[in-house]
Amino acid sequence: MRKSQTEVNDSHVKLSRRTLLLGGAQLALVAGLGMRMRFLQLDQADQYRLLAEENRVNIRLIAPARGEIFDRNGVAIARNEPSYRIIMVREDAGDVDQVIDRLSKLVKLDEVELERAMTEMRRSPPFLPVTIADRISWEEMSRVAVNAPALPGITPEVGLSRFYPLRSDFAHVIGYVGPVSDYDLSKIDDPDQLLRIPRFQIGKVGLEGRLEDNLRGVAGTKRVEVNAVGRVMRELDRRDGQQGEDIQLTVDQKLQSYTQARLGDESAAAVVIDCQNGDLLSVVSAPSFDPNLFVEGISVANYRRLTENDHRPLATKSVQGTYPPGSTFKMVTALAAMEEGIISSDNTVWCPGHMEVSNRRFHCWKRGGHGHMNLEQALAQSCDVYFYDVALQVGIDKISAMAERLGLGHRFDLPMSGVAQGLNPTREWKQAVRGQSWLPGDTVNVSIGQGFVLASPLQLAVMTARIASGKAIQPRLVKSVDGVERPVAVAEALDINPAHLAEVRRGMNTVSNNRRGTAYGSRIIEDGYRLAGKTGTSQVRNITAAERAQGVFRNEDLPWNRRDHALFVNYAPVENPRIAVAVIVEHGGGGSAVAAPIARDITLQALYKGDPPLEAYPSKDRKRIQEQQEELRKLVPSRNLTRSDRA
């Protein structure tokens, strides 16, 4: 049926309207898409370019070279050495077991390390490198490089690793580095991303740990292009990091090495300090250990050998160890009494060999007594009863105050692990810690360095330096950082009458240079180098009345760990003190027989800056000393360890 003209016109109108609506909608859609494209391509171009770049480019950290450590004369004691290692990429190796078998014929592979590497390889993507052998020799490195065509997936690499050329001589001073552990990370609130680099080394103990922020340096970066699965395609650019700061110590390497050798296998410690500026010239604990064992992670067997040794080679006895100072404390008691006007050089005390205090008998080391003793004689012959008497007159309060003035009971700020405070006991301390009142017997014990009082070899060296110089010497270990000299604290004069200090020095001089002095056998006879000192023997057990009645056991008849500690402190030269020395030999017996000869030898080495002439020793000792020096020369490093310039 044919449509009328009206119906045809109506259809055209409807079609035109629909066309306009549809066209308008399409135009709006195209316009919207265009605007969106403009927004993405122009307005948001930088953001999307960055996102694309992040998917394509990775930024990776480059570990900086660690700062090195030197002695006062520029001798390297902790440095970085090339560390050769072998890495493997699993996807390039093909048959991993076959390649490992070929490699094992060229390089000795540690089974434990190899198993760890294989475990790491199974967990990692096939394109990531895994270390198969670390710290291999240059010869092994060369063999691998020459046979590279037969070792697919194997690549020799060179890195830097910490090395301690003097091994055990500085172990207790500088400590060591080791791989970052989960425990290390748990102690840091916001750990540096450097610490997450596999096998990155940080300072664990000692100066390496205390000055970690100075030594670590600042990381570098490199930009690498990666594909969709993270495989590195190429390196785009690199920005090297900043090497850690070099540290120069006040310690003298030759003296340190000699002292370590002189202490030998004894469980002992020695400290040498400059009497003028507080520089620590030697800080030694014995026996020692090789810190290189810890750099890559010490084995269980080696660690057990160190921890099960009853001489405690891991302990830094020079600053951590605290001991009853024995008779080396008598100078403190004497100065306290003189400052209070209780004694003078002419006052005498009768020593019958004991003193009754509060219904308890306190004995002198000399069973028959010393008779009448003045201060100089009491110091020279180490009469206990003399100091019992004056201590009861002066009281513990004044004795404690003098001990504090001389540096006892003070924790010095040194970058070493576990610097001890020691114990300078007071009435308040005993009441707070023991819940007991102070007794006269406590004062008597403290007067001769027994009872509650405890001091470290470092503190005893500082005490001796202060007596010798009359100044409040502060110990210093770091000489400079990155070539910038650390300031030396100006030592103020001690608040002690110089005349009283002179009296004590005279007594210490008599100890070493008078025939009746307890250290006369360890004197120096060379004019201008004579020493003044004080012996000490501190008990580690109580001597019962029954034992005294039967005769006190000799130290050599007792088990090693029940013998007395042997101590000696001294300064030299007598006329113009330059150094002070403190030595303790754990369970060594008598201070005059054991500690004094060691201190005398160390003192001469420090003054002469090397082996002294035999004429400095008493004639009867010269043959023995000559043989001793020849033996010690074999133990003291003689290689060239001088500092090399930084690149």
Asked if residues 619 and 556 have their Cβ atoms less than 8 Å apart, the reply is no
Residues 327, 400, 417, 447: which is the catalytic one?
327
Q: Count CB neighbours of 441 within 10 A.
A: 16
Q: Count CB neighbours of 369 within 10 A.
A: 17
**Chain position carrying tokens 């309207």:** 17
Long-range contacts of 561-565 (CB under 8 A, 24+ apart): 561/310, 561/587, 562/587, 563/587, 563/588, 563/589, 564/537, 564/538, 564/539, 564/540, 564/588, 564/589, 564/590, 565/323, 565/324, 565/326, 565/537, 565/538, 565/540
- Residue 137 CA to residue 158 CA, distance in Å, equals 11
Q: Which helix (H) or strand (E) holds 24?
A: helix 5-38
181 is catalytic: no
Q: Which helix (H) or strand (E) holds 582?
A: strand 579-585
Q: DSSP state, 636?
A: S
Distance of CA 344 to the CA centre of its chain: 43
Structure tokens at 585: 């030999």
Strand partners, 416: none
Which of 140, 141, 151 is CA-nearest to residue 93?
Answer: 151
Which residues in 254-266 are b (16+ Cβ under 10 Å) and which e? bbbbbbbbbbeeb
Q: How many CA atoms lie within 13 A of 120 on its CB side?
A: 15
Which of 600, 611, 635 is CA-nearest to residue 272?
Answer: 600
Strand partners, 203: 177
- Residue 109 CA to residue 551 CA, distance in Å, equals 62
Structure tokens at 600: 């005398």
Q: How many CA atoms lie within 13 A of 6 on its CB side?
A: 0
- Residue 584 CA to residue 150 CA, distance in Å, equals 60
Tell how many helices (H) and how many strands (E) occur in the chain: 24, 21
Which of 308, 344, 322, 323 is CA-nearest to residue 506?
Answer: 344
Which of 537, 533, 507 is CA-nearest to residue 521?
Answer: 533
For Cα atoms 322, 326, 330, give the angle at the middle one, nearest 5 degrees: 120
Q: Which residues are part of the catalytic machinery? A: 327
